[in-house]
Amino acid sequence: MMIYSFPPIVDNKSKILILGTMPSKDSLRLNQYYANKHNGFWKILFTLLDKPFSENYEIRKSLLTDNYIALWDTLKACIRETSADADILSPEPNDFAELLNKYPNIKVVFCNGRNAESYFEKYFKSLNIYYCYLPSTSAANAISWEKKLKEWEQILKYLKV
C-alpha cells in the first residue's frame, strides 16, 4: 500500500532540520510525527530543551518551532506494509531543494537514524548543506536512551541565537 508523509513542521526561524524516514503506522493513524509511545524522539527533545514533557501534539509542535527546529521526513511516499524502514519499497523523496530555498535559515540537517541518512545521501548529497547522522530514536534501536540523549545533545550548539 502506498503511504505518504506529512508536511514539514517549519517556519522562517528554523535553524536546523531533523529528518526521519517515513511515519510509522501509529503516526499515520494519529496524523502526528513520532506518535508511537515507544519512540524516544519527544522525550529526548523535551529533555534536551529542559521543558516539561507533554503528550499534547500542539505543545510538541510548539516545542520545535519555539526552539528553531524544523521536522520532516526524507521520503514523500513509499510502499510499506509495516512500520519498519527495512520494508520500504518504491521510495519517493521529498523536495529538499525547495524547502531549503524557502527556509534559508536552515543551516544543518540531522538524520534520525541510518535509513534517514541513507536516503538523504542518495537523493540530496549534492545540496550545499551540512548533514549529520544521529542514532534512531526508535525503540527498535538497541542503543540505550542515555546514549541516544548524549548523541542528540549536538543539536543544541546549532540552536543558540
Cell of 158: 546549532
Cβ count within 10 A of residue 111: 23
Determine how many CB atoms are found less than 10 A away from the CB of residue 146.
Answer: 8
Range of 104's domain?
Answer: 2-158
Q: What is the pLDDT of residue 45?
A: 97
- Cα→Cα distances 26→23, 39, 113, 155, Å: 8, 11, 18, 26
Would you state the pLDDT for residue 86?
Answer: 66
Q: Catalytic: which of 39, 67, 112, 115?
A: 39
Q: In CATH, what number is assigned to the domain containing residue 124?
A: 3.40.470.10
pLDDT for residue 15: 96
At 143 the pLDDT is 85
Contacts for 36-44: CB closer than 8 Å, 24+ residues apart: 36/83, 36/138, 36/139, 38/139, 39/137, 39/138, 39/139, 40/137, 40/138, 40/139, 40/145, 40/148, 41/112, 41/137, 43/145, 44/137, 44/145, 44/148, 44/149, 44/152
Q: How many domains does the chain have?
A: 1
Cα end-to-end span (Å), the chain: 43
Among residues 6, 9, 4, 2, which one has the least CA distance to residue 106?
Answer: 9
- Cell 546549532 belongs to 158
Q: What is the mean pLDDT of each run of 10 residues along the chain (161 residues)?
A: 92 96 91 94 97 97 98 90 70 92 96 93 87 90 87 91 50
39: annotated active-site residue: yes
- Degrees, nearest 5: CA angle 1-85-9: 85
pLDDT of residue 85: 66
